[in-house]
């Protein structure tokens, strides 16, 4: 059994941490492309959301209202205004859209005659000298802004809908239906007796009626090359959306770096982690449009089983001992190396297929799954091992910039990392000599070091890593074909 421990370098990268994802309090509504954030989002979620307030129609912005200028946001059924001078929950107020819309229409509700009767009990409201009856009263009393009162109090209903302005009467709504309608300060109630009980009272889309229907979002189309990807392999993700100003995305848990190509298409390289189960991996893309809207798209990448062999490695007590004694140094080394992978330099330095960085025998293939001392299979060989004599030249596989050149790492020995741009890095471990300096630009085939047996190995070899972001991909597929 040939020196299994050679492949030790392996596990240790697993000890490194992925960068924590920033927790955002913003929520994107893909149907209209706008985000709602902070206090307005909290208010939206606490006070009825979609059926009561509806989808956002624009960004939170400084808006002129009849009561003054506020940081506010339009929704299908209302306008949420931020009043930071008020203590919560009074720091978010709803616009008086019912009153505003009636005014726009030139209707003076005070002069309007009595309307149609509605079956059921009524409540007379002296403030506007109107009654709310039957199903409208039930709805009015059942909904409110949560101000902390038990159940739904009258002041909570008033905060949401306000007082009735008109008596109920038949009106033609924006969908062309003639329905019994009653206007309130902040809402318009419509009665649809043919609907199931929960939908017999519907709220008018006052926001839409005041500022217009939202423009349809452009569609985003995705092209995958290849369309199905083996575990541990790379994929080109092309997105057609010329008007986009920026694209973000994730493949599984890994962030994608998108760039606009000369042909106007957006493109990102992705990697499928070796330990991804066969099946599908979620691909999420968000594109920023010039008007501030976001086009969100979710699809799946088909993941095929690469049938990597599994091996168990028994760590001899001496190695275990060495690991234990160097825990802190190894953690520092991993932190250093793992801080480099997520960095994205926009300029693509490579072109065409990569070259092999050294001559020699492939002593361990990429992707072999590993368990240690009979434990779970939760790691894999992250690169390609090329065994040859100490002193064998190691050359740059492609144009790149040296971003790490260390001579004595505990695990990796003499180590070099090249940044090829667009989030693609290559790493070279266990070298006896490191012949480049950080910041240096190297050309394909340029000598960067010499094979050694430095770090945690039992024999001379070069370990070669290829990464897209933090995801390891099979170095041989970067030799086999050109990646854009
Ligand atoms: Zn290796």
- Confidence grade of residue 3 (pLDDT, cut at 50, 70, 90): very low
* CA 353 and chain centroid, separation: 31
CA of 403 from ligand 1 middle (Å) equals 20
Q: What is the DSSP letter of 292?
A: S
Q: Does 19 have pLDDT greater than 80?
A: no
- Rounded to 5°, angle at Cα 364 from 316 and 334: 65
Mean pLDDT of 437-452: 98
> For position 318, what pLDDT does the model report?
80
Tokens representing residue 72 in the block: 């506010």
Three-class SS state of 250: strand
- Cβ within 8 Å of residue 179, ≥6 positions away: 170, 171, 173, 190, 191, 192
4-19+308-480 and 221-304 share one fold: no
C-alpha of residue 464 to centroid of ligand 1, in Å = 7
Ligand 1 centroid distance, CA of 462 (Å): 7
Express each pLDDT in 105-121 by its tens digit: 999 988 887 777 788 89
CA of 50 to the centre of ligand 1 (A): 53
CATH code for the domain defined by 221-304: 2.60.40.2470
CA of 396 to the centre of ligand 1 (A): 17
CA of 301 to the centre of ligand 1 (A): 28
Q: How confident is the model at residue 8 (pLDDT cuts 50, 70, 90)?
A: very low
- Cα(342) to centroid(ligand 1), Å: 21
How far is the centre of ligand 1, averaged over its atoms, from the C-alpha of 334 (Å)?
A: 15
Q: What per-residue confidence (pLDDT) applies to 152?
A: 93
pLDDT at residue 9 greater than cutoff 80: no
For residue 48, the CA-to-ligand 1 centroid distance in Å is 56
**pLDDT for 288:** 95
pLDDT for 371 beyond 70: yes
CB distance 109 to 166 below 8 Å:
yes
pLDDT at 25: 83
DSSP annotation string for 442-471: E-TT-EEEEEB--SS-SS-EEEEEEEETTE
Cα 437 to ligand 1 centre (Å): 23
pLDDT of residue 77: 94
Ligand 1 geometric centre to CA of 388 (Å): 13
Q: What is the mean pLDDT of the chain?
A: 91
Cα 412 to ligand 1 centroid, rounded to whole Å: 10
How far away, in angstroms, is 10 Cα from ligand 1 center? 6
Query: How many angstroms separate the alpha carbon of residue 308 from the centre of ligand 1?
Result: 15
Measure 17 CA to ligand 1 centroid, in angstroms: 20
CA of 319 to the centre of ligand 1 (A): 16
Distance, CA of 472 to CA of 234 (rounded, Å): 9
State the distance from the centre of ligand 1 to the C-alpha of 402, rounded, in angstroms. 20
How large is the average pLDDT for residues 68-74?
A: 92
Residue 109 CA to ligand 1 center (angstroms) comes to 80
User: 457 CA to middle of ligand 1, Å?
Assistant: 9
The pLDDT of residue 23 is above 70: no
Query: What is the rounded distance in angstroms from the CA atom of residue 64 to the CA atom of residue 84?
Result: 16
CA of 349 to the centre of ligand 1 (A): 25
Q: Is the pLDDT of residue 477 over 90?
A: yes
Instruction: Average the pLDDT over 145-157 and give the result.
Output: 92
Q: In percent, how much of the chain has pLDDT > 90?
A: 78
CA–centroid distance, residue 381 to ligand 1 (Å): 6
Model pLDDT, residue 173: 82
Is 334's pLDDT higher than 90?
A: yes
- Ligand 1 centroid from CA 313, angstroms: 14
Dist. CA 6 → ligand 1 center (Å): 7
* Cα dist from 21 to 27, 250, 255, 265, 270, whole Å: 15, 12, 10, 27, 18
The pLDDT assigned to 24 comes to 60
Considering only 56-60, 213-217, 225-229, which range has the smallest mean pLDDT?
A: 213-217
Tens-digit pLDDT profile for residues 291-330? 999 999 999 999 999 999 998 888 788 878 888 899 999 9
Q: Which residues make Cβ contacts (< 8 Å) with residue 154, sequence separation at least 6? A: 141
Mean pLDDT lowest among 101-110, 203-212, 311-320, 409-418:
311-320
DSSP β-ladder status, 92-94 and 122-125: unpaired
Expressed in angstroms and rounded, the spacing between residue 384 Cα and the centre of ligand 1 is 5
Classify 4-19+308-480 by CATH class.
mainly beta
Q: Which two tokens stand for residue 471?
A: 């995801």
Whole-number pLDDT of residue 128: 92
Domain boundaries defined on the chain: 4-19+308-480, 34-211, 221-304
Q: Distance from the CA of 383 to the center of ligand 1, in angstroms?
A: 5
- pLDDT over 50 at 251, yes or no: yes
> In angstroms, what is the span from residue 5 Cα to ligand 1's centroid?
10
C-alpha of residue 136 to centroid of ligand 1, in Å: 72
Cα 430 to ligand 1 centroid, rounded to whole Å: 9
Least confident of 113-117, 146-150, 251-255, 286-290: 113-117
**What is the CA(382)–ligand 1 centre distance, in A?**
7
Give phi and psi for 52, each to the nearest 5.
-95, -45
**In the predicted model, what is the mean pLDDT of residues 198-220?**
92
Which carries the bigger pLDDT value, residue 257 or residue 17?
257
At residue 4, does pLDDT exceed 60? no
Backbone angles phi, psi at 321, to 5 degrees: -60, -45
**Closest by alpha carbon to 472, among 401, 390, 381, 403?**
381
């Amino acid at each position: 059994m040939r020196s299994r421990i050679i492949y030790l370098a392996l596990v240790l990268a697993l000890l490194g941490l992925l960068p924590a994802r920033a927790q955002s309090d913003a929520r994107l509504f893909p149907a209209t492309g706008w985000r709602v954030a902070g206090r307005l989002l909290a208010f939206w979620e606490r006070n009825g959301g979609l059926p009561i307030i509806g989808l956002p129609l624009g960004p939170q912005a400084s808006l002129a209202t009849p009561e003054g200028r506020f940081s506010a946001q339009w929704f299908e059924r209302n306008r949420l205004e931020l009043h930071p001078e008020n203590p919560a929950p009074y720091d978010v107020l709803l616009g008086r859209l019912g009153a505003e819309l009636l005014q726009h229409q030139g209707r003076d509700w005070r002069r309007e005659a009595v309307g149609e009767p509605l079956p059921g009990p009524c409540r007379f409201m002296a403030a506007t000298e109107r009654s709310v009856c039957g199903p409208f009263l039930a709805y009015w009393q059942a909904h409110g802004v949560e101000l902390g009162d038990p159940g739904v109090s009258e002041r909570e209903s008033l905060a949401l809908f306000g007082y009735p302005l008109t008596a109920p009467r038949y009106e033609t709504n924006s969908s062309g239906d003639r329905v019994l309608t009653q206007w309130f300060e902040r809402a318009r109630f419509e009665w649809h007796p043919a609907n199931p009980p929960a939908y017999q009272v519907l709220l008018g889309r006052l926001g839409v009626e005041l500022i217009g229907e939202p423009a349809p979002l452009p569609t985003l189309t995705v092209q995958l090359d290849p369309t199905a990807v083996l575990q541990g392999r790379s994929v080109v993700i092309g997105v057609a959306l010329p008007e986009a100003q920026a694209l973000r995305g994730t493949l599984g848990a890994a962030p994608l770096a998108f760039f606009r190509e000369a042909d106007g298409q957006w493109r990102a390289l992705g990697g499928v982690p070796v330990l991804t189960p066969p099946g599908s991996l979620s691909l999420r893309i968000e594109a920023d449009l010039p008007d501030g809207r976001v086009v969100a798209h979710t699809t799946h990448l088909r993941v095929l089983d690469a049938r990597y062999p599994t091996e168990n490695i028994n760590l001899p007590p001496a190695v275990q001992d060495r690991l234990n004694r160097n825990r802190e140094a190894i953690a520092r080394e991993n932190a250093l190396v793992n801080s480099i992978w997520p960095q994205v330099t926009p300029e693509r330095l490579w072109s065409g297929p990569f070259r092999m960085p050294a001559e020699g025998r492939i002593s361990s293939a990429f992707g072999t799954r590993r368990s240690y001392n009979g434990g779970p299979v939760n790691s894999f060989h992250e690169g390609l091992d090329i065994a040859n004599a100490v002193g064998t030249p190691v050359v740059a596989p492609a144009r790149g910039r040296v971003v790490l050149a260390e001579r004595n790492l505990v695990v990796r020995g003499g180590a070099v990392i090249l940044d090829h741009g667009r989030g693609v890095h290559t790493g070279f471990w266990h070298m006896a000599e490191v012949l480049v300096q950080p910041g240096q630009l190297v050309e394909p085939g340029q000598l960067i070091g010499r094979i050694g047996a430095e770090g945690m190995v039992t024999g001379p070899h070069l370990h070669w890593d290829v990464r897209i972001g933090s995801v390891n991909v099979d170095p041989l597929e970067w030799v086999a074909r050109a990646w854009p």
